[in-house]
Amino acid sequence: METVETTFKLSYTKEQYQKAVEYINDMKKHPKRVFWLGKEGKSDEELIYSHIAHKILSGFYSNYDPSFARQQIMDMTNRKAVS
């Protein structure tokens, strides 16, 4: 299986940031949820940005809207990962 490392440059709104903060704060009340797998030791900011990226990219691939992509997905860089 081949592997590609991809980096996205995303923009987000104040509302998206605030919703992510609320989501992370809610998840802190539920430490046994699947959400926490692989996220041990991450800072709140890392979790917030990861959530924003997940929501933007999931929305983009689920509901393709070119104007959405132009506004929020500003850049994407790919390179083949060395095994």
Indicate if the pLDDT at residue 48 is higher than 90. Answer: yes
Residues 59-72: pLDDT tens digits?
765 566 667 666 77
> Of the given ranges (2-6, 13-17, 22-26, 30-34), which has the lowest mean pLDDT?
2-6
Structural tokens at position 55: 């929501």
With DSSP H G I counted as helix, E B as strand and the rest as coil, what are the percentages for the chain, rounded to 5? 55, 20, 30
**Residue 58 binned pLDDT confidence (cut-offs 50, 70, 90):** confident
The residues spanned by each domain of the chain are: 4-80
pTM for this prediction: 0.76
